[in-house]
């Protein structure tokens, strides 16, 4: 079985984003970029499945600018076998990403497509679901645990108030949640090996996908500054305060 793992290059999770003065978006000039943390979890899970002998090959794919090669090399250093960059400098919305991934999947025929549940830049949380719908394949989103067994995969999903277990017939789409695993850091020998692993570059046109945006961003603004809270002495004071505020 092959596992396809889409990885996105996003603003590093340690960086405090700055909104552009004209409100058109976030300023990405001179900002550190990294692999979307949920995608790292997806790469890690794919490697664990392969290490357990349940997959033969892991293919990392990224849709984005030439610099996304770095993100793919990170996936290769963690343990993916080869990579595909679908290169474009345009902003690609979740629907177009899903269409490109569908086309890649048609070429590669993976048994499992493992995505992050969302990217931390736009927090859309759509690509996995759209991909499953476009492909007409089952989906297990917000995975907390993933167990591949024969021709199916069992996914425990993080839902409000607990875990829901679903069993999907392969090929299937899984999106990862935060607690699925702790991604490994690359070892030095693997960083060196990753430089020699194959990385193909293609274009959205190669897959016949029109990436023109369907949405218009009207404004991006900083979240309102949180007001400082108030400290109370004890539980009685807390209860009194809540009553006074009319919350309870």
Q: Does residue 179 bind another protein (CB under 8 A)? A: no
Length of the chain counted residue by residue? 248
* Candidate ranges 138-146, 187-195, 196-204, 208-216; the one touching another protein (CB under 8 A): 187-195
Contacts of 139 (CB under 8 A, 6+ apart): 128, 129, 132, 168, 172, 173, 174, 175
Minimum CB distance to another protein smaller for 64 or for 111: 64
Could you tell me the CA-to-CA distances from 21 to 12, 17, 24, 28 in Å, in that order? 21, 12, 8, 13
Instruction: For residues 113 and 96, give the distance between their C-alpha atoms in angstroms, rounded to a whole number.
Output: 17
Give min distance, CB of 27 to another protein, in A: 11
Minimum CB distance to another protein smaller for 77 or for 115: 77
Query: Is residue 238 left, alpha or beta, with left meaning phi > 0 and alpha meaning psi from -120 to 50?
Result: alpha
* Candidate ranges 85-93, 168-176, 181-189, 200-208; the one touching another protein (CB under 8 A): 181-189
Contacts of 124 (CB under 8 A, 6+ apart): 94, 118
Contacting another protein within 50-79 (CB under 8 A): 70, 73-74, 77
Contact residue for another protein among 24, 165, 169, 187 (CB under 8 A): 187
Interaction mask 111-140, another protein, x per CB under 8 A: ------------------------------
Q: Does residue 27 bind another protein (CB under 8 A)? A: no
Q: Does residue 159 bind another protein (CB under 8 A)? A: no
Contacts of 69 (CB under 8 A, 6+ apart): 62, 85, 199
Contact residue for another protein among 20, 32, 67, 243 (CB under 8 A): 32
Q: Does residue 30 bind another protein (CB under 8 A)? A: yes
């Amino acid at each position: 079985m092959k596992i396809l793992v889409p990885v996105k290059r996003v603003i590093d999770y340690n960086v405090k984003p700055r909104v552009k003065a004209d409100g058109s978006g976030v300023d990405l000039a001179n900002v550190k970029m990294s692999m979307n943390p949920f995608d790292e979890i997806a790469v890690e899970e794919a490697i664990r499945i392969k290490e357990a002998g349940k997959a033969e090959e892991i293919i990392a794919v990224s849709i984005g600018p030439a610099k996304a090669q770095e993100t793919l090399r990170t996936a290769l250093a963690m343990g993916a076998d080869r990579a595909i960059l679908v290169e474009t400098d345009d902003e690609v919305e979740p629907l177009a990403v899903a269409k490109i991934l569908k086309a890649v999947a048609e070429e590669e025929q993976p048994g499992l497509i493992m995505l992050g549940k969302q990217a931390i830049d736009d927090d859309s949380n759509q690509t996995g679901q759209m991909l499953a719908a476009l492909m007409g394949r089952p989906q297990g989103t917000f995975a907390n645990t993933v167990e591949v067994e024969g021709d199916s995969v069992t996914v425990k999903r993080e839902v409000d108030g607990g875990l829901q277990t679903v069993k999907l017939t392969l090929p299937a789409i899984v999106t990862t949640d935060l607690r699925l695993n702790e991604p490994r850091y690359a070892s030095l020998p693997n960083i060196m090996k990753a430089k020699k692993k194959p990385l193909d570059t293609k274009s959205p046109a190669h897959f016949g996908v029109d990436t023109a945006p369907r949405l218009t961003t009207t404004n991006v603004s900083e979240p309102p500054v949180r007001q400082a809270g108030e400290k109370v002495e004890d539980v009685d004071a807390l209860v009194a305060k809540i009553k006074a505020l009319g919350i309870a």
